[in-house]
Structure 1
Amino acid sequence: MLDISSLACSYGRVEAVRDISLRARPGEITLVLGANGAGKTTMMNAVAGLLKPAAGTVRLGEEDLTGLPPHVVVRHGLALVPEGRRIFGPMTVAENLRLGGYLRQGARLREVLARVHEMFPVLHDRRDVAAGLLSGGEQQMLAFGRALMSEPTVLLLDEPSMGLAPVMTDVVLGKVAELAATGLGVLMVEQNADAGLDIADQVVAVARGSVVYSGDAADARNHASVLRAFLGEAALAPAAESGARDQGGEA
Structure 2
Amino acid sequence: MLEVSDLHVSYGAVEAVRGISLSVTPGRVTLVLGANGAGKTTTLRGICGLLPIRRGVVTLDSNQIGGMSPHRIVRRGMVLVPEGRRVFAPLSVLENLRLGAYTAPRSQFDADLARVFELFPILSDRRSSAAGLLSGGEQQMLAFGRGMMSQPRVMLMDEPSMGLAPAMVDSVLNSVRQIADSGMGVLIVEQNADVGLEAADDVVVVARGEVVFSGPADVARSHSSVVRAFLGEAALAETQPRAEGR
Give your verdict on TM over 0.5. yes
Q: TM-score, normalised by structure 2?
A: 0.91
Asked if structure 1 preserves the Cα contact closer than 8 Å seen for 2:202 and 2:217, the reply is: yes
For 1:215 and 1:73, the matched residues in 2 are separated by 27
For 2:89 and 2:135, the matched residues in 1 are separated by 12
Asked if structure 2 preserves the Cα contact closer than 8 Å seen for 1:212 and 1:229, the reply is: no
Alignment of 1:29-178 (within 5 A): 29-178=29-178
Aligned twin of 2:224: 224
Q: TM-score, normalised by structure 1?
A: 0.89
For the residue of structure 1 that corresponds to 2:107, the secondary structure is: helix
Give CA-to-partner distance per residue, 1:18-58, whole Å, 9 cap, x none: 11000011111101100000000000011111111111111
Q: What code does the residue aligned with 1:175 have? A: S
Q: CA deviation at 1:228?
A: 5.7
Instruction: Give the paired residue count.
Output: 234
Aligned twin of 1:195: 195
Bigger mean CA offset, 33-42 vs 162-171: 162-171
For 2:229 and 2:13, the matched residues in 1 are separated by 23
Q: CA deviation at 1:230?
A: 3.8
Asked if structure 2 preserves the Cα contact closer than 8 Å seen for 1:205 and 1:229, the reply is: no
Aligned twin of 2:212: 212
Percent identity, please.
60
For 1:177 and 1:165, the matched residues in 2 are separated by 19
For 2:190 and 2:48, the matched residues in 1 are separated by 17
For the residue of structure 2 that corresponds to 1:87, the secondary structure is: coil
Give CA-to-partner distance per residue, 1:108-152, whole Å, 9 cap, x none: 111111111111111111111111111100100010000000111
Aligned twin of 1:249: none
Bigger mean CA offset, 217-226 vs 147-156: 217-226
Q: CA deviation at 1:90?
A: 1.3
Bigger mean CA offset, 182-191 vs 31-40: 182-191
Q: CA deviation at 1:105?
A: 4.2
Q: What code does the residue aligned with 1:199 have? A: A
Bigger mean CA offset, 71-80 vs 119-128: 119-128
For the residue of structure 2 that corresponds to 1:168, the secondary structure is: helix
Structure 1: any 5+ residue segments left out of the alignment? 240-251
Bigger mean CA offset, 218-227 vs 26-35: 218-227
For the residue of structure 2 that corresponds to 1:84, the secondary structure is: coil
Asked if structure 1 preserves the Cα contact closer than 8 Å seen for 2:202 and 2:215, the reply is: yes
Superposition CA RMSD, Å:
1.6
For the residue of structure 1 that corresponds to 2:52, the secondary structure is: coil
Structure 2: any 5+ residue segments left out of the alignment? 237-246
Return structure 1 stretches of 4+ with deviation > 6 angstroms: none
For 1:222 and 1:79, the matched residues in 2 are separated by 31
